[in-house]
Chain A
């Protein structure tokens, strides 16, 4: 191992980590908003929008992000639509993530029995109040584990961003292997960088999930 070399290239990896995190945060926020909107549309069975949303979810859950990005980045310009690398990455992540987030929220919404909603109605709650005070808080508890899984999944998916000419971790690693033949060093740093991003998030997700499962609604004084 060439430790001096590794030290020299660490800033390149750091820059790639920061780029990845910036894109991923924007992407996940937009994906969550998209997913929530889609799941409410489907839950409320809104005319026309509901089947369209279902089609969107199926389309993006059943195609790889890599192919979506190729289409956005290389295909669309032929129609005169030019999208920057960063925008491509964010759009791709939002569309893919939206379809996954929608399913996570849907699982939560579907876990609320119709009789819970009826009993809220019988107490005089309006539909909006029922959603706000009864449905959403309970649905969220069910949705959080799949939402966490989606966040981790989406971060992992960002590893293909190099194909839209973004200097992400894979791009840096590939570059170093190609230019200097420092394969071991480049790969070690690659693995380490992803561990630094993903380990804390996946540990936090595990803790959150455990708290919801064991401490939710009454088995503990906290929450």
Chain B
């Protein structure tokens, strides 16, 4: 019975379908990660300005997004926005919106804390050496800030990839959904398919995220000194 289960993976186009599901997962991840990096940097820089209104607005946004489980945000957007605005959002679009909102908030906080953690004397000694404001940022501040931002930003990216698994619950056909469909279709011929399919998905997620985690750890260690 066990080998029946594992055969399902190689039966017909099942394997290919699962990989196509992974492509949907990764597509969603990549789109939202890139958008979050760009918007998050912008938001982080805005937060370093000492404007009280910007400060309050960004803070409330950040805290609300952070405190809510991502699945709740997905539900509110998918079910709520559809009704409120009257447009019919696809699950995928709702997911893109939520992940960008969340990623931007987290990325913004990373960027903000990186910039405020650079000691004042770095700015002062740079200015004392005669660098212009632009040169100061280009050669002194930005390289240091990037070293602080990149490792946690990569960890954020892996968290976003993992969290995309939730979109199956708002009806997006991605890897998990494809897996469920394969299991359903082979319910009678291969009853143990669930074990193999979910096991495979587990490792597909692992191998999508693990390299990023390792790279982030490596960079963090390298730049620590």
Contact = CB atoms under 8 A, between A and B. Distances in A.
A141 to B, nearest CB: 20
Contacts of A159: 69-72
A174 B78 CA distance: 12
A165 to B, nearest CB: 13
B210 interface: yes
A106 to B, nearest CB: 12
A187 B76 contact: yes
Tier of interface size on chain A:
35 or more
Given A70-B198, A70-B201, A71-B198, A62 B210 contact: yes
6 contacts: A71-B195, A75-B195, A160-B71, A184-B83, A198-B68, A199-B67
B219 interface: no
A78 B165 contact: no
B202 A191 contact: no
Closest 3 interchain pairs by CB? A159-B69, A78-B192, A62-B209
B140 interface: no
A169 B68 CA distance: 13
A63 B79 contact: no
Interface string A135-177: 0000000000000000010001111101100000110011001
Given A78-B5, A183-B79, A64 B69 contact: no
Given A67-B165, A183-B79, A195-B67, A75 B206 contact: no
A194 B205 contact: no
B176 interface: yes
A152 B197 CA distance: 31
B67 A202 contact: yes
Contact of B158 (A62, A78, A158): A62
Interface of A: 58-59, 61-64, 66-68, 70-71, 74-79, 152, 156-160, 162-163, 169-170, 173-174, 177, 183-184, 186-187, 190-191, 194-195, 198-199, 202
Instruction: Report which residue of B72, B76, B80 has the largest number of chain A beta carbons within 10 angstroms of its beta carbon.
Output: B72
A67 B67 contact: no
A67 B177 CA distance: 11
B144 interface: no
B75 A63 contact: no
B210 A58 contact: yes
B176 A70 contact: yes
B75 A187 contact: yes
Contact of B70 (A156, A162, A169, A199): A156
